[in-house]
Structure 1
Amino acid sequence: MFILSLTYIKSNDEADRHMEPHMAWVREGYARGWFLASGRKVPRTGGVVLAIGERVAIEAYVAADPFTIHGVAEYEITELAVTTAVEGLEILKG
C-alpha cells in the first residue's frame, strides 16, 4: 500500500484553480482500482491518498496529476507493508 501525501507549494487559491482537473485525476485513480481513500489535510495544506498497485505505475500517475504538472503541490510517496488490518480491509495487505 502507498500513502500519497501531497503538500501545497502554492496558495489555496491556485489549488482551487486546478481543483476540477485534479479531481478528475482522482476519480480516474479510483476507476483504475488504485485509490482506496482520499481527502484534504486539516488544516488545508494539501491532501492524502491511500493507494495500491505497482510503485512505478503509481509514481507515473502522480507525475500526471494536474497539481504536479502545474507546480501546485509536491508529493511524498511512502510505501507501507500492512501486516494487520480490520476485517474487510484485507486488500491493504497486498
Structure 2
Amino acid sequence: MFVVLLRFSANKDAAGQHMPGHREWIERGVEDGVFLLAGSIQPGPGGAIVAHGISREDLEGRVAADPFVAEDVVTAEIVEIAPWMADDRLKFLLA
C-alpha cells in the first residue's frame, strides 16, 4: 500500500490549466481500482492519494503520467506502507 504526496511546486500557478487532465488521471486511478482515496492536504499545500494493489514500479509510472507531475505543478513523493493491523472495515488492505 502506498501514500502518494503531491506537493505544489513553484509552478503552482499552472494548476488551473492542467486541472482537467489531473482530475481525469485521478478518476482513471479510482476506476482502475488502484486509488482508494484522493484528497487535498490541509490547509492547501497539495494533495494525497492512497494506492493499493500495484507495484511500486507501476505506481511510479502512473504518477509520472499525472499532468500535474509532468508539467511540474507538483512534486510527488511515494511512501510505502506495510500494514499489519487494520480496522475490520479495512482488513482487505492486509492481503
Same fold (TM over 0.5): yes
Instruction: Give distance in 1, aligned partners of 2:44 and 2:17.
Output: 15
Identity %: 37
Give the 5 Å matches for 1:3-42: 3-9=3-9, 10-11=11-12, 13-42=13-42
Instruction: Give distance in 1, aligned partners of 2:36 and 2:82.
Output: 15
Residue correspondences, number: 93
Instruction: Give distance in 2, aligned partners of 1:79 and 1:23.
Output: 23
Aligned-partner SS, 2:26: helix
* Structure-2-length-normalised TM-score: 0.92
Shift of 1:88: 1.6
* Structure-1-length-normalised TM-score: 0.93
Consecutive unaligned residues in structure 1, runs of 5 or more? none
Structure 1 segments, 4+ long, off by >4 Å, are none
CA RMSD of aligned residues (A): 1.0
Give the 5 Å matches for 1:1-94: 1-9=1-9, 10-11=11-12, 13-52=13-52, 53-94=54-95
Residue identity opposite 2:29 in structure 1: G
